[in-house]
Structure 1
Amino acid sequence: MESGAAGVGGDDLSSTFHPSFVSEWSYAVSRRYQYLLDKSTPYVLRRWIAFGVIAGIYVIRVLFIQGFYIVSYGLGIYILNLLIAFLSPQTDPESEYITDGPSLPTRGSDEFRPFVRRLPEFKFWYSITKAFCIAFVMTFFGVFDVPVFWPVLLFYWLMLFTLTMKRQVLHMIKYKYVPVSFGKRRYTGKKVVSTDDASIPN
C-alpha cells in the first residue's frame, strides 16, 4: 500500500513538471511579451525615455565598479552597426545606379518616394535596448571583466565612429537622401505636402 501511495505521488509530481506544461507556459509568456511590444509601438517618446533610463543605469554601474570596459566596447561597436543600418536606405542607391533600376528622387519634380530605412525605428530601439540589458547582466559575471587599458579602447572607438559617420554622410551627399522626415514631402492621398505644412492647422 505504501509503495502504491508513493507511486501515485511520484506520478503527480512528474505530471506537474510535464514538458507540455513548460512549453505552454513559455508560449504564454512569449505571447504576452509580444503583446506588450506591439502595444508600445506608437509610443515613440516613451520608449526612448525608457531606453535612456536603462542606458543610464548601465553607465552608472560601469562607472561605479570601474570595470567591464571590454563589454562596453563591444556594446559600442554593436550600437554603431545599428546606427549605420538605421541611417541607411533599405535599397542601396549605388546598386540601383549599377542596375539602372529605380533610384531615390534627386529633384523636386521627381516622383515622391518616402525614405525607407534598412533598420526601422522600432527594431532599432528594440535591438539597442536589448543590447544594453544583456550588457548590464554581463556585468554581474566576473569572467567578462577582462583587464584592458580603457583609454585606448575609447580612442579607437571614437576614431572608428568618426570614420564610419564621415563615410555615411558622404554617401548621403552623393545620392542626395536625408534619413529624417522633418520638412520632407509626404503623400496625403490628394496632394503631396511637406511635413511642416501638415503640422499647420487650416
Structure 2
Amino acid sequence: MDAPEPDTPFAAVSAQTTRVGRIYQAYLDKSTPFITYRWVGTGILTLAFALRIVFAQGWYIVAYSLGIYLLNLFLAFLTPKFDPSLEQDEGMEAGESSLPTKEDSEFRPFVRRLPEFKFWYSATKAIAIGFACSWSEIFNLPVFWPVLVVYWLILFCLTMRRQIQHMIKYRYVPFTVGKTRYSKNSS
C-alpha cells in the first residue's frame, strides 16, 4: 500500500489526532508530581458517579463492574512486582534464600506490580467510562442490587484477607506511611 497523500483528509485527521495526543500526554506528564490533586479529582469524579447511581436508582451493573475493576487495580497496586513466593520456590531449588538474612545482604526495595500513576490513570479512566455509561439506557439492566453489594463485599474481604496474609508471610509493606525518611542534611 502506498502512504496517503499529504493533501488527503485522512492525513489531516491523522496529523490532528497525533497533535491532540501529544498535548494530552504533555498534560499527563505535568500532572505526575501532583499526587494529592490527582486523587482529589478522582475522588470528586467517584462522588459524582456515586451520586448519579443513587439518584437515578439504576445502572447497578455498571457500578458493580467498576467496583470489580477497581478492586483488581488495587490488588495489583498492593502486590509486589516480583512475587516473593515464586522467588522463594526458585531459591529453595537452588538452596538459597531470596530474602536478605544478614545485615550485609542486598537491600531490595518494594516495587509495585502497578505503579501509583498507572493505578490513578486507569482508575480515573474507568470511573469516567462508568459515568458516561450511566447516561445510556442500554446499560441500565434490571438487577437486585443488594445481592451485588453483598457479593462485592464478600469478594473484597476474601481477597484483602489473602493479600494481607501474603504481606505478613513475606514481610513487606506496600505503603511508605510511617517508614523512616532520611534527609540529605543529616549531620
What's the counterpart of residue 163 of structure 2? 168
Taking the aligned partners of 1:39 and 1:48, their CA distance within structure 2 comes to 15
What's the counterpart of residue 82 of structure 1? 73
What's the counterpart of residue 65 of structure 1? 56
TM-score w.r.t. the length of structure 2 is 0.88
Question: For residue 129 of structure 2, what is the amino acid of its counterpart?
Answer: I
Three-state SS of the structure 2 residue aligned to 1:198 is coil
Taking the aligned partners of 1:115 and 1:96, their CA distance within structure 2 comes to 14
Q: Is 1:116 the counterpart of 2:111 in the alignment?
A: yes
Name which of 27, 33, 37 aligns with 1:36.
Answer: 27
Q: 1:105 to 1:137 in 2, by over 3 A?
A: farther
Taking the aligned partners of 1:154 and 1:50, their CA distance within structure 2 comes to 25
Three-state SS of the structure 2 residue aligned to 1:82 is helix
> Per-residue deviation at 1:106?
6.6
> Per-residue deviation at 1:183?
3.9
What's the counterpart of residue 50 of structure 1? 41
Question: For residue 24 of structure 2, what is the amino acid of its counterpart?
Answer: Y
Taking the aligned partners of 2:60 and 2:178, their CA distance within structure 1 comes to 40
Q: 1:28 to 1:87 in 2, by over 3 A?
A: same
TM-score w.r.t. the length of structure 1 is 0.81
Q: Is the 8 A contact 1:106 1:175 kept in 2?
A: no
Three-state SS of the structure 2 residue aligned to 1:80 is helix
Q: 1:134 to 1:124 in 2, by over 3 A?
A: same
Equivalent positions of 1:98-113 (< 5 A) are: 98-100=89-91, 103-105=98-100, 110-113=105-108
Shifted more, 93-102 versus 51-60: the winner is: 93-102
Aligned length: 178
Q: 1:16 to 1:133 in 2, by over 3 A?
A: farther
Q: Is 1:145 the counterpart of 2:136 in the alignment?
A: no
> Per-residue deviation at 1:180?
1.1
Three-state SS of the structure 2 residue aligned to 1:174 is helix
Question: For residue 35 of structure 1, what is the amino acid of its counterpart?
Answer: A
Taking the aligned partners of 2:14 and 2:140, their CA distance within structure 1 comes to 35
Shifted more, 166-175 versus 97-106: the winner is: 97-106
Three-state SS of the structure 2 residue aligned to 1:42 is coil
Taking the aligned partners of 1:69 and 1:103, their CA distance within structure 2 comes to 45
In our comparison, the structure showing a higher alpha carbon Rg is 1
Name which of 180, 183, 186 aligns with 1:198.
Answer: 183
Gaps of 5+ in 2: 1-5
Question: For residue 65 of structure 1, what is the amino acid of its counterpart?
Answer: A
Percent identity, aligned pairs only, is 51
Question: For residue 151 of structure 2, what is the amino acid of its counterpart?
Answer: Y
> Per-residue deviation at 1:99?
1.0
Q: What is the Cα-based RMSD across aligned positions, in Å?
A: 2.2
Q: 1:158 to 1:179 in 2, by over 3 A?
A: same
Three-state SS of the structure 1 residue aligned to 2:40 is helix
Shifted more, 139-148 versus 157-166: the winner is: 139-148
Taking the aligned partners of 2:100 and 2:69, their CA distance within structure 1 comes to 31
Three-state SS of the structure 1 residue aligned to 2:176 is coil
